Structure 1
Amino acid sequence: MTRSPATPLPSPKERRRLREAHALTRARLAERVGVRPGRVRAWESGRRTPRGRKREAYAQLLAGLARAPRDDGAWLTPAEAFDALYSFCAPALLRQTYLLSGRRDRARESVERAFQLAWDRWPEVARDPDPAGWVRAAAHECALSPWHRFRRRYRQPEPPPPRQDDRTLLDALLRLPPPYRRTLLLYDGVGLGLPETAAETEATTRAAAGRLMHARDTVAARLPELSDPRELHQRLAELASTGRLRAAEPPAVRRGSERRARFWTRSAIAFTAALIGTTALTLHTSPTRYEPPVPPGETVQGVPPRMAPGPLSEDQRKLRAKLRKQLPGGPERLLPQAR
């Protein structure tokens, strides 16, 4: 969706490192897909192409990712196909999620989380007609999640862009409701058609058109020079390029996904074991036969109430005093004396 300056191909040392990490360089990706390296560079920079050529390039890319053989004649492994998809989509997704969230750290986290989900469900993603759209939808949902407001690391504001125009445009975008912001980004930034934008935002075409017009009017009210959609697209690309975002390496994303999957698997096993132990303890300590409950007490009729003892007489007081004066033990206490 954004335009960035063309970057040269990686150095031979970097290409060797990528090959060892089972990643694909731009030249190898172009060879797999069957296009020129310049076309891959245009994809990575988000340069707009006619819709027919773009769809054709997409079809070639997806066919190359899923079914293209390697140089030695073997088929691409899942890791190699995932690395190719990551190399193709991650730079543009970082810029898109930055425009959606306004934070660089949340953009990186959203993209990594989306690709971790894709690696967890790779058989499903690999068979999807549009794997790039699958990952893009997951990244956008993660970037716009309302739960981020409760995290302490996101309560501190991030340094704004250096230019005043970029700060005004980013502030206008962040003031839009999330569905309107996402619709504007998909249509004017990514270049999707209105039906595709409506389908990805889970809205009708009429609702998506209304959101798009409202978002354009809101941005144009703050920046009148952006009333032209082409100028708006150019400014969105320039704003996204100021983030200076760098994606993580594909093997690191795959390892993070696998660590998360192992953690949740072990947590589920521990919870199941604790539940089984609690159930076994309950069965062991619970009674094995029926014990009827104790009936409540009933009032007995005809019995006189218990009376408290009255005051002592003179003889009783003398006897009590005499007993207290005697030794606590001895025959005087045990053997009565006859008078």
Structure 2
Amino acid sequence: MKEKRGIILGGAIIGILGVLSVYCGNPKNMGICIACFIRDISGGLGLHKAEIVQYVRPEIIGMVLGAFGIALVNKEFSTKGGSSPFLRFILGAMVMIGALMFLGCPTRMVLRLAGGDFNAIFGIIGFAVGIIVGIYFLNRGFTLKRNYKQTKLEGYVFPIINIGLFIMLAAGSSLLIFSKEGPGSQHSPIWIALAVGLVVGVICQRTRLCMVGGIRDMILFKDSYLLLGFLAMLIAAFLGNLAFGFFTPGFANQPVAHTDWIWNFLGMVVAGWGSVLLGGCPMRQLVLSGEGNVDSVITVLGMFVGAAFCHNFKLASSPKGPTPTGQIAVILCLVALGAISYFSMAKDVKVKSDKDIKGGVSVD
């Protein structure tokens, strides 16, 4: 019961921080979004040329550093990696393609619903369907194989890079690109955004908050622990939106969203399925990367490249709806996920308990 109180409180804090981030300048219903923020950073580093979504988001940096710091303090920092790195890179890119078809990660999906965007309902259904499909393969022995202990330096590199990136941002480095209009131009002051990221990183590291894990554990083990955190986030963000006057219910004219329910659904099927195979949602991957998990770092790098591809090849949706190339990409991702899931099955392995997941089927 004590643990459940902790994750409920943590989820509620994140929900409130999401609303406060909008109040401080972030785009509406985008107080916290791992997919959108990674996309923006990708643009800020010049990896894509979509001028309205280019900005180094301190929230992402803060999440990595928050998880890194608290893991060091609690002696939980452990460098490990080597579990199917290239497949993880590809899966990370595909998760990003699915998320940018929907226009949001699982966290933003919850925050969009809390703000009254009913298009998120189709995303949630698709996300759950993707997780169920992934569970089907987990139960039949899907595995990305075990990871191995690495040198401490390997685990320190990613947090160090994030520190350097924040210094560049704070100094207004001319090497970075800054949007002058659109969602990329809308952001909280950098120190507030960093503080939000740090708090979220600490909470997620201590509670293991993960929406993929929440739905997966509820289906496999009837364990509601992780799911309670996202329910608390939804309720807290809903109340916060009401208090600030941000709640605008409906389908049409929602901020940074489109109304094509089929592709909202299918995009999040890809995101959910890919995240199950990876062992955690995009937020969880960031936290694990801060804890020294090099496999998660590879996954996050795949997300960066996936975001760049989405905008360089016109795969990402816009408020006008999905693009034809984006639709083709989502279908190809579904086919690729099926192939990866099937050919990565260890025929003699089945998931019987949470320990089986932690022992090699996932990185969570």
Asked whether the two chains share a fold, i.e. TM above 0.5, the reply is no
Specify which structure has the bigger relative contact order, considering alpha-carbon pairs within 8 angstroms and separated by 6 or more residues. 2
Mark the structure with the bigger radius of gyration. 1
So what's the TM-score if we normalise by structure 2? 0.26
